[in-house]
């Protein structure tokens, strides 16, 4: 196994961070870039085993993602005795360690919940399921930034898999998903995982729902004395009542996958829209002792909400945080540098979006005007163009399909008004962008004007 100060490829080992049955994790220095990284090692004698395939799956899944709440993977390498994964070094602690120290303050719990949901939503947008989300696989940096780690059981959805003839990554990521297998950590499985059934993004949502319940209620909702009893509780029992968990948490924990949020993107939006707590994060005993005060505050809050509701009803558009959105600029439709198949879509989609927006009554900034401003900061670009909002996004091809992630950003506030992901066939480079643009604008109009 690796040793302190050992030179492995371009890395110098500094400190062992952990060890398990399959190998070790070390803190190391990348001598080329003079940065600290983490190296996860798999023993060579296990090369070709499922653990090595998991390491490659983790590397390929995580490297396909680019999000501040997901661990960054740099490369997969080989040493004399082992295969290793070089990834971002996170100086901090796992969520499990943080949970062991006691209850969370309300804002701390909300912040962690939103960051985890945002990271998982990014994975789902790329068609990647984590399948092993748990507090041990969530790191909290010293500055409060949350990172989802360990994509060793990741799986790609069929629509996101490249053609097998072109690339074997899809097949690699999809390995080990036969019906009947129990994959994941049993205490954080969804009911369908516990039954050995096929998983979907809603399965990850259930696992995150368990974590949210722990964050806000201070206990695991289903844990029992034995593995079988815990799995039975996940499949058949409802979580114990918890005054600090709202409908958002309850919906994430529905037994029927069709009744949950369809993806982490929907859950993330719900967390941002409504929050996740009904009251403070005091323990139950403290809440009971202060119920008269809580009752008075609830009455005051109800009156305030009624007044706020009247103001909200009278606002011109509930999704724009102010005056209604009447003018839009289409900017920042981008694709990975190595994604040549996305180029035809990138060339035709902005004009089709502008045309569809104009047909739906919006004032649209000309493409020539958009090219004259910097698109790195959507809020600033929108202000320079004098529009109410900007429509930005990215395009990515997946074999015979492409996916477009679109978001509308309010120029006055810089806040996201709406976002959604769309998938379409890439066969028709002429009619495809027009059809996709029509679908995007139809959903945008429904969200902004409802």
Residue 320 lies in a domain: no
Chain Cα centroid distance, residue 337: 22
Alpha-carbon torsion, ordered 266, 271, 277, 282, to 10 deg:
110
- Whether residue 322 lies inside any domain: the answer is no
Q: Which domain holds residue 70?
A: 7-88
Q: With the C-alpha atoms ordered 222, 223, 225, 227, is the resulting torsion angle positive or negative?
A: positive
- CA pair distance 162, 126, nearest whole angstrom: 12
Residues 191 and 270 in one domain: yes
State whether 61 and 136 are in the same domain.
no
Q: What are phi and psi of 91, to 5 degrees?
A: -90, 105
- Same structural domain for residues 130 and 277? yes
User: Residue 321 falls within a domain, yes or no?
Assistant: no
Beta-strand relationship, 155-156 and 327-334: unpaired
Q: Quickly list H helices, 246-342.
A: 247-252, 264-274, 284-289, 291-314
State the CATH number of the domain containing residue 392: 3.40.50.10070
Integer Cα distance of 440 and 352 in angstroms: 10
pTM: 0.58
What residues contact 415, with CB distance under 8 A and at least 6 apart? 321, 409
Per-residue pLDDT of the chain (450 residues; tens, 9 = 90+): 667 778 888 899 999 988 765 678 899 999 998 999 999 887 655 445 556 666 666 666 666 778 899 988 888 887 777 788 888 999 999 999 999 999 998 899 999 999 999 999 998 888 889 989 999 999 999 999 999 998 877 787 766 555 433 333 333 333 344 444 556 689 999 999 999 888 899 999 999 999 999 999 999 999 999 999 999 999 999 999 988 888 899 999 999 999 999 899 999 999 987 654 443 333 443 333 334 444 444 454 444 444 444 333 333 333 434 578 888 989 867 887 667 777 777 777 888 898 899 888 888 988 778 887 777 777 777 777 778 888 988 888 776 678 888 889 888 777 778 888 888 776 665 567 788 888 899 889 887 765
| Active site residue ranges | 132
How many independent structural domains does the chain possess? 4
In this structure, the number of other CB atoms found within 10 A of the CB of residue 204 comes to 29
**209 falls within a domain:** yes
- Write the DSSP symbol of residue 362: -
Domain-terminating residue out of 281, 303, 338: 281
Distance CA 192, CA 210 (A): 14
Strands 82-88 and 73-78: antiparallel
């Amino acid at each position: 196994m690796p040793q302190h100060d050992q030179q492995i490829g371009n890395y110098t080992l500094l400190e062992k961070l952990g060890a398990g049955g399959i190998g070790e994790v070390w803190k190391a220095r990348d001598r080329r870039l003079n940065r600290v990284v983490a190296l996860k090692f798999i023993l060579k004698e296990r090369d070709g085993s499922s653990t090595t395939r998991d390491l490659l799956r983790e590397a390929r899944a995580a490297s396909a993602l680019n999000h501040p709440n997901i661990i960054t993977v740099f490369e997969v390498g080989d040493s004399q005795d082992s295969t290793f994964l070089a990834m971002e070094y996170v100086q901090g602690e796992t969520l499990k360690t943080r949970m062991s120290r006691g209850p969370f303050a309300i804002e701390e719990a909300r912040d962690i919940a939103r960051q985890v949901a945002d990271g998982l939503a990014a994975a789902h947008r790329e068609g990647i399921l984590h399948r092993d989300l748990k507090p041990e696989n969530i790191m909290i940096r010293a500055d409060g930034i949350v990172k989802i780690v360990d994509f060793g059981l990741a799986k790609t959805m069929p629509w996101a898999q490249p053609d097998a003839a072109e690339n074997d990554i899809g097949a690699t990521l999809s390995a080990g998903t036969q019906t009947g297998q129990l994959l994941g950590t049993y205490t954080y499985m969804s009911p369908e995982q516990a039954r050995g059934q096929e998983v979907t993004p809603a399965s990850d949502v259930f696992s995150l729902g368990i974590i949210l319940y722990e964050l806000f209620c201070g206990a695991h909702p289903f844990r029992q004395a034995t593995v079988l009893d815990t799995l039975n509780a996940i499949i058949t029992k409802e979580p114990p009542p918890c005054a600090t968990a709202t409908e958002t948490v309850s919906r994430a924990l529905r037994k029927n996958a069709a009744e949950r949020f369809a993806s982490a993107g929907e859950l993330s939006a719900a967390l941002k829209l409504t929050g996740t707590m009904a009251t403070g994060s005091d323990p139950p005993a403290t809440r009971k002792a202060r119920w008269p005060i809580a009752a008075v505050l609830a009455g005051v809050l109800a009156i305030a909400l009624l007044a706020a509701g009247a103001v909200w009803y009278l606002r011109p558009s509930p999704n724009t945080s102010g005056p209604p959105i009447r003018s839009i600029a289409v900017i920042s439709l981008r694709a990975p540098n190595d994604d040549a198949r996305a180029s035809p879509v990138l060339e035709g989609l902005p004009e089709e979006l502008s045309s569809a927006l104009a047909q739906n009554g919006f004032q649209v900034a000309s493409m020539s005007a958009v090219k004259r401003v910097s698109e790195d900061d959507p809020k600033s670009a929108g202000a320079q163009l004098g529009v109410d909002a900007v429509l930005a996004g990215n395009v990515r091809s997946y074999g015979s399909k492409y996916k477009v992630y679109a978001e509308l950003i309010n120029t006055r506030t810089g806040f996201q008004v709406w976002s959604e992901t769309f998938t379409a066939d890439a066969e028709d480079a002429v009619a495809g962008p027009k059809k996709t643009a029509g679908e995007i604008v139809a959903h945008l109009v429904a969200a902004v004007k409802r």
